[in-house]
Amino acid sequence: MDSKENKILHSTTVVGLIKDGKAVIGSDGQVTFGTTVLKHTAKKIRKLYNGTVLTGFAGGTADAFALLQRFEEKLDATRGQLYRSVIEFAKDWRTDRYLRRLEAMMIVMNKEKLFVLTGNGDVVEPDDNLAAIGSGGPYALAAARALVETTNLDAKTIVETSLKIASQICIYTNSEFTIEEL
């Protein structure tokens, strides 16, 4: 395992969930540099391809924007076919020398499918239509899973509540949330 695989992204929290025909993704707004908070209200969530695809990113901001642009190009080239876009994008990310050096992760989703993409070329489609990334991701994921299994809350409320819980535990996650829904 190389050092990049072992590296924990101290960056943010992004949570995505598909439930009852709704796709919801949310993130906090904190941007840090080392132990300094640079910004509280960053927007790490985007609607793409005429508002039919949601994406959120964790990691280096410049790296994430470069990846977001490349992913959007794949979406356009495949006319919004999410699965094809994800596979083509992951191939590029893994094989392109420039892209391979970028340190970020992404969640991309539409109303039917949700994927986690990494710089190792991973394309993960979670079994339960639920994913979280970033340093607060494990906390948000655990909270969201508990809420999905034990409540009848809607997807947006689950995402918001799981972000709130992560923000109370992870120092790289704040309570300035951006949430988008399809």
Widest CA span of the chain, in angstroms?
46
Residue 181: in which H helix or E strand, if any? strand 178-181
Give the per-residue SS3 of 8-22. Answer: CCCCCCEEEEEECCE
Mean pLDDT of the chain: 88
Q: Per the CATH hierarchy, to which homologous superfamily does domain 3-174 belong?
A: Aminohydrolase, N-terminal nucleophile (Ntn) domain (3.60.20.10)
Confidence of residue 68 (pLDDT cuts 50, 70, 90): confident
Q: How confident is the model at residue 97, as a pLDDT?
A: 65
pLDDT digits (tens, 9 = 90+) for 49-62: 999 999 999 877 77
pLDDT at 59: 78
- Nearest 5°: the CA angle 136, 29, 137 is 15
Q: What's the confidence (pLDDT) of residue 104?
A: 77
- Tokens 């992404």 belong to residue: 106
120 Cβ partners below 8 Å, 6+ apart? 4, 5, 94
Q: For the residues 123-132, what does the mean pLDDT come to?
A: 96
Is residue 2 predicted with pLDDT exceeding 70? no
Per-residue pLDDT tens over the stretch 112-124:
999 998 877 789 9
Stretch 35-58: mean pLDDT: 92
98 against 158, higher pLDDT = 158
pTM for the whole structure: 0.88
Cα 95–Cα 98–Cα 102 angle in degrees, nearest 5: 95
What are the catalytic residues? 12
**pLDDT confidence band for 7 (50 / 70 / 90):** very low
Phi (first) and psi of residue 114, to 5 degrees: -135, 135
| Residue pair 104/60 in contact by the 8 Å Cβ criterion | yes
pLDDT at 4 over 70: no
Confidence check: pLDDT of 9 > 60: no
